[in-house]
């Protein structure tokens, strides 16, 4: 079995199987799912799959972050979900999807399948502009005309591509959707819009109140998407009333006679105005408050990318290029942000003493420099925290400069990184935009690299490594009596949530560290996993706590909630038993946070080193803020 097929099978099994998949597709780095019942997802098992960088819900869309090989994994996954994942089965369970979440999910589902076409064609147009700028090609010659036609074709005929993609997303007939696109792009309307004919408007069915305006729908985005949505509901309604014996012919014809006049009369103009309105707003923001807009969008772009919301900006960027010939916000800010993640990752590669981390940081940095940032963000920078912050600070500062200067892209280029530099070349041959792009390229890499090197980060020690105690403070080192020959044991976080210092707890037994040193976590999920590998020493019948003896002699108590012993096991489900061998990351106990809170009992969970006297010190990595399952939590110094 190939590695990619193994990943696909494990992912599919942990999202509830093919029958739970409504839709599946992929973008550049992520597998994306719409699921019937998101409660069937085993998030933590998916995160532990070799080859998976992370997993998350973005609205009701479930995303599995795979990285550069996502297309290979999806090629194995796609035949597994056909039939069971066709989306023909029932409604999704769980909460109704909010309008913002539904909109983001829809836009992502429509645009991600056509990104390869947009990226390839856009990059070709970018190289053409670069060649003109460098004097290697004449923009009035035949070669330029032919290559420009190849690069421009997908944008000119964009309604056709969106018709197919949108029809697949909403599960209606793709060929009927293509009829709508073909009508919008028919020469009768295009010639009138371009002034080739003298027609200024059209009427239909002799109805004087219906006046169809003359508009050019080439390169348009919103009109065809809204028209396909209307097609879905009209076609389904028509099929219900037309006898099946003649439905094949009459249902499409009647659908066309309803949908296309409404589209040409109302939806087309409405969609055109909506798209142009959104484009105008973003252009205005960068014209009037360019530095502020660049600071915010550049600085927070990594967080936007993490949620997948950057795809929501794609139609606006396309509309900007269609209206003004340039993209003033999406690609310029992603260019800076992606390279900043690469620069921070390269800084980690130089400064880290962990050989595995060095190798990961180099490969992830190269990937981010190309335009695929998830490996660098999830595998390196976010894991070490500070490099991620340095990258955001750098991209915010450079984004402010780019917004002030008016840095812009002249084509849509797909992966935004080193190979997208040509899209920032002006097709007119002006050299300044290309020079600014090269300067920002260098600064975006260098600034976070320097910040990472100068200010550092909390390195992850290699397993069994002997080194100095954690670089918390000199006072802590002295109080712990740490020397360069002392060893450390790392305790991982058994759950996801918010850190709470023991001294802030209401239970004096834990607050006064009577049972030992440690940290508490207010959980945001309903299970705990093993923080170390070892053996289950204690598991009471109430199942609210578990005692573990680690392979290095550490004794860890995980106590879920305060006074939860009074529940007598209610709302708890232990997945292991006393004397069981357990491995780090293995799920130990499931519990119902909401039910425990409803019983007026605190759910804050304590992680205590009960044999604290055996160690020089027990140090927590952080005292507050969020913590993720599997993240380094405590360091035990001997």
- Active-site annotation holder among 7, 12, 21, 27: 27
3-state SS, residue 185:
coil
Residue 48 DSSP code: T
Helix (H, G, I), strand (E, B) or coil at 95: coil
607 closest CA partner among 580, 576, 635 = 635
CB 608 within 8 A of CB 557: yes
Q: How are strands ordered across the β-sheet holding 587-591? A: 527-529, 587-591, 572-574
Are 610 and 515 in contact by the 8 Å Cβ rule? The answer is yes
Closest CA to 54 of 70, 40, 39, 76: 70
Comparing C-alpha atoms, which of 56, 36, 60 is closest to residue 47?
Answer: 56
Burial letters for 242-279: b for 16+ Cβ neighbours within 10 Å, e otherwise? beeeeeeeebbebbbebbbbebbbebbeebbeebbebb
Query: Which candidate, 21, 43, 30, 17, places its Cα nearest to that of 74?
Result: 30
Instruction: Please tell me the number of Cα atoms within 13 Å of 269 on its side-chain side.
Output: 12
Dump the DSSP string for 228-255: HHHHHHHHHHHHHHS-HHHHHHHHHHHH
Q: Distance from first CA to last CA of the chain, Å, rounded?
A: 45
**How far apart are the C-alpha atoms of 291 and 312, rounded to whole Å?**
22
Which residues contact residue 388 at a Cβ distance below 8 angstroms, ignoring those fewer than 6 apart?
Answer: 302, 341, 344, 377, 381, 382
Determine the Cα–Cα distance for residues 415 and 409; give it in Å rounded to an integer.
Answer: 13
Give the position of tokens 């397993």: 463
Q: Over the range 58-73, which residues count as b (16 or more CB within 10 Å of their CB) and which as e?
A: bbbbbbbbbbeebebb
Which helix (H) or strand (E) is 119 found in, with range?
Answer: helix 115-133
Size of the chain, expressed as the number of residues it contains: 638
Phi-psi region of 490 (alpha: psi -120 to 50; beta: other; left: phi over 0): beta
From CA 87, how far away is CA 169, in angstroms rounded?
10
Cβ-proximal residues to 203 (8 Å cutoff; 6+ apart), any chain: 210, 211, 212
The upper half-sphere exposure of residue 363, i.e. CA atoms within 13 Å in the direction of its Cβ, equals 11
Q: Is 341 in contact with 396 (CB distance < 8 Å)? A: no
- Give 98's contacts (C-beta < 8 A, 6+ positions apart): 59
Q: Which helix (H) or strand (E) holds 128?
A: helix 115-133
Q: Is 27 a catalytic residue?
A: yes
DSSP summary character for residue 205: T
Catalytic residues: 27
């Amino acid at each position: 079995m190939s590695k990619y097929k193994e990943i696909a099978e494990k992912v599919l099994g942990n999202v509830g199987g093919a029958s739970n998949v409504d839709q599946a597709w992929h973008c550049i780095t992520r597998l994306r799912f719409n699921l019937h019942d998101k409660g069937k997802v085993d998030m933590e098992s998916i995160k532990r799959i070799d080859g998976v960088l992370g997993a998350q819900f973005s609205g009701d869309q479930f995303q599995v972050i795979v990285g550069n090989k996502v297309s290979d994994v999806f090629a194995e996954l796609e035949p597994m979900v056909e039939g069971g994942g066709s989306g023909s089965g029932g409604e999704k369970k769980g909460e109704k999807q909010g309008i913002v979440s539904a909109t983001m999910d829809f836009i992502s589902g429509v645009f991600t399948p056509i990104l390869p076409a947009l990226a390839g064609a856009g990059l070709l147009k970018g190289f053409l502009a670069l060649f003109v700028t460098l004097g290697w090609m004449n923009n009035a010659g035949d070669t330029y005309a032919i290559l420009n036609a190849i690069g421009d074709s997908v944008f000119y005929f964009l309604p056709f591509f969106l018709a197919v993609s949108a029809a697949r997303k909403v599960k209606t007939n793709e060929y009927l959707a293509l009829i709508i696109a073909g009508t919008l792009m028919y020469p009768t309307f295009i010639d009138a819009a371009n002034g080739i004919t003298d027609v200024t408007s059209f009427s239909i069915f002799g109805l004087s109140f219906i006046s169809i305006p003359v508009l050019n729908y080439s390169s348009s985005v919103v009109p065809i998407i809204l028209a396909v949505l209307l097609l879905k509901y009209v076609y389904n309604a028509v099929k219900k009333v037309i006898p099946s014996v003649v439905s094949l012919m009459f249902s499409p014809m009647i659908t066309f006679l309803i949908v296309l006049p409404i589209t040409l009369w109302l939806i087309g103009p409405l969609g055109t105005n909506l798209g142009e309105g959104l484009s105008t707003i973003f252009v205005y923001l960068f014209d009037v408050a360019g530095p502020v807009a660049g600071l915010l969008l550049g600085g927070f772009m990594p967080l936007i990318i993490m949620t997948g919301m950057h795809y929501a900006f794609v139609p606006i960027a396309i509309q900007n290029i269609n209206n003004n010939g340039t993209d003033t916000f999406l690609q310029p800010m992603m260019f800076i942000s992606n390279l900043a993640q690469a620069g921070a990752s390269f800084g980690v590669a130089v400064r880290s003493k962990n050989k595995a981390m060095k190798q990961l940081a180099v490969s992830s940095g190269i990937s981010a420099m190309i335009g695929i940032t998830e490996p660098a963000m999830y595998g390196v920078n976010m894991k070490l925290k500070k490099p991620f912050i340095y990258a955001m600070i750098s991209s915010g500062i450079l984004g402010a400069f780019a917004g002030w200067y008016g840095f812009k892209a002249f084509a849509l280029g797909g992966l935004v990184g080193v190979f997208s530099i040509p899209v920032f070349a002006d097709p007119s041959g002006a050299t300044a935009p290309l020079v600014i792009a090269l300067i920002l390229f260098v600064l975006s890499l260098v600034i976070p690299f320097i910040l990472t090197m100068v200010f550092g980060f909390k390195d992850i020690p290699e397993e069994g490594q002997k080194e100095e105690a954690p670089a918390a403070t000199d006072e802590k080192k002295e109080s712990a009596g740490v020397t360069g020959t002392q060893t450390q044991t790392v305790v991982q976080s058994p759950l996801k949530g918010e850190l709470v210092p023991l001294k802030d707890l209401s239970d004096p037994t834990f607050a006064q560290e009577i049972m030992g040193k440690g940290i508490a976590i207010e959980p945001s999920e309903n299970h705990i996993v093993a923080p170390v590998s070892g053996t289950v020493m204690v598991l009471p019948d109430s199942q609210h706590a578990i005692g573990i003896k680690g392979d290095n002699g550490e004794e860890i108590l995980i106590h879920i909630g305060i006074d939860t012993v009074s529940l007598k096991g209610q709302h708890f489900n232990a997945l292991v038993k006393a004397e069981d061998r357990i491995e780090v990351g293995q799920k130990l106990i499931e519990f119902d946070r909401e039910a425990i809170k409803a019983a007026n009992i605190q759910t804050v969970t304590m992680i205590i080193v009960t044999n604290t006297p055996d160690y020089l010190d027990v140090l927590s990595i952080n005292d507050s803020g969020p913590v993720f399952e599997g993240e380094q939590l405590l360091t035990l110094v001997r």
